[in-house]
A and B are shown apart, each in its own frame.
Chain A
Amino acid sequence: MNSEQTIFYILSFWFIASSLAMIFARNAAKAVLFLVLGFFSAAGIWILLEAEFLAITLILVYVGAVMVLFLFVIKMLNIDKSTLRAKFAGYLPLGLIVALIIIAEMTLVLGGAQFGLEVMPSPAKHGADYSNITVLAMQLYTTYVYPFELAAVVLLIAIIAAITLVHKKEATYKKQNISEQVNVRAKDRVRLVSIASPPKEKK
């Protein structure tokens, strides 16, 4: 067993163990912390696959922003722990059976006979002068520039939607009152005023 395999199995063990600990955790905050450990292991596995930029992005964006957002929400909403796990036992056997069946099927389909080293040999490692970020940037700003801009629009919409949803004071933004608009009569809007016109000047 060489060093790459050792690292892979250690990271996989921690990834699977922390994922299991996450779904069985009684406390939501602990579940978030286990998920952070799982994300770190996943980032290590991605670095083994020479996807350095995405591994760093996973840690910076997911662990740094999204998981902290989860922790904020968990601390903000005072969750009643006793009611949350009431139906735990009822769905546990069904969930485990479905998961085990899917794992068995996937192992049969994805096993060494189909995707092993003989069929799909491991590519040669890149040298020290290879830059994953340069390669990704070349693709992202040429071939995939329109999806890249769409992604920016998606993020903008997410910002607007999140702010609109949790905004409390309704008086600070203007909105239509449809029934008032439909029920309006001419006398509400138009007022005829008779004004004495000034006498015409002689030219």
Chain B
Amino acid sequence: MVSLSDYLILSSIIFCIGLAGIFINRTNIITLLMCVELILVAVNTNFIAFSHFLGNEAGQIVVFFILTVAAAEVAIGLAILTLLFRVRGSINVDVTNSLKG
């Protein structure tokens, strides 16, 4: 049988891979968005594992709402990215320093 700790350790590994991806791909906004998706899937796996082992469906409901908000986030993020590319001609993080003091 697969224990709860196996699922939790798997999702923590995926979470850390997503975190390392944000460190590594600092100049590529699209890959940053994908790393955020990876982190969200790791968190969702946590919720579902606890929901299964505790016999409570509320965890799955939370995952449903996380999926909704993540889809909205990706839609707006990619729209901002398209706008950024149109204005600056590049989606490099280095050129988006207008707010720097």
Interface residue ranges of B58-73 to A (CB < 8 Å): 58, 60-61, 63-65, 67-73
CB distance from A81 to the nearest CB of B (A): 9
Chain B residue with Cβ nearest A89: B24
Interface range on chain B: under 10, 10 to 19, 20 to 34, or 35 or more?
35 or more
Is A19 touching B81 in the complex (CB atoms < 8 A)? no
Q: Does B27 contact A69, Cβ atoms closer than 8 Å?
A: no
Contact residues of B between 32 and 89, Cβ < 8 Å to A: 33-35, 37-38, 41, 44-45, 48-49, 51-53, 55, 57-58, 60-61, 63-65, 67-76, 78-83, 85
Q: Residues of B contacting A102 with CB < 8 Å?
A: 12, 15-16, 19
Question: What is the distance, in angstroms, from B73's C-beta to the closest C-beta of chain A?
Answer: 8
A103-B14 Cα distance, complex, nearest whole Å: 9
Chain B residue numbers with a CB within 8 Å of A85 are 27-28
Question: With contacts A91-B26, A155-B72 known, what are 13 further pairs, Cβ within 8 A?
Answer: A16-B13, A51-B52, A54-B60, A65-B71, A66-B37, A91-B24, A98-B16, A111-B9, A115-B5, A116-B5, A123-B53, A147-B65, A151-B69
Q: How many interface contacts (CB-CB < 8 Å) are there between A and B?
A: 237
**Of the residues B8, B44, B68, B91, contact of A155 by C-beta under 8 Å:** B68
**Residues of the B chain whose Cβ atoms lie less than 8 Å from the Cβ of A10:** none
Tell me the complex Cα distance, A86–B24, Å: 11
Within 8 A of B (CB), among A135-188: 135-136, 139-140, 144, 147, 151, 154-155, 157-159, 161-162, 165-166
Residues of chain B at the chain A interface (Cβ within 8 Å): 1-10, 12-28, 30-31, 33-35, 37-38, 41, 44-45, 48-49, 51-53, 55, 57-58, 60-61, 63-65, 67-76, 78-83, 85, 90-92, 94
Q: Please measure, in the bound complex, the distance between the C-alpha atom of A111 and the C-alpha atom of B90, giving whole angstroms.
A: 45
Cβ–Cβ < 8 Å partners of B33 in chain A? 70
- Do residues B72 and A5 form an inter-chain contact, with CB atoms below 8 A? no
CB within 8 Å of B: which of A56-106? 57-58, 61-62, 65-66, 69-70, 73-74, 76-77, 79-80, 83-88, 91-92, 94-96, 98-100, 102-103, 106
Interface residues of A (CB under 8 A from B): 2, 4-5, 8, 12, 15-16, 19-20, 22-25, 28, 31-32, 35, 38-39, 42, 45-46, 48-51, 53-54, 57-58, 61-62, 65-66, 69-70, 73-74, 76-77, 79-80, 83-88, 91-92, 94-96, 98-100, 102-103, 106-107, 110-112, 114-117, 120, 122-123, 132, 135-136, 139-140, 144, 147, 151, 154-155, 157-159, 161-162, 165-166
Instruction: Report 25 cross-chain contacts, Cβ distance below 8 Å, ordered by A residue.
Output: A4-B2, A19-B18, A20-B17, A35-B37, A38-B41, A42-B44, A46-B45, A54-B63, A62-B37, A65-B71, A66-B74, A79-B28, A83-B94, A87-B26, A91-B26, A92-B23, A92-B24, A95-B24, A102-B19, A103-B16, A107-B12, A116-B4, A158-B72, A158-B75, A165-B83
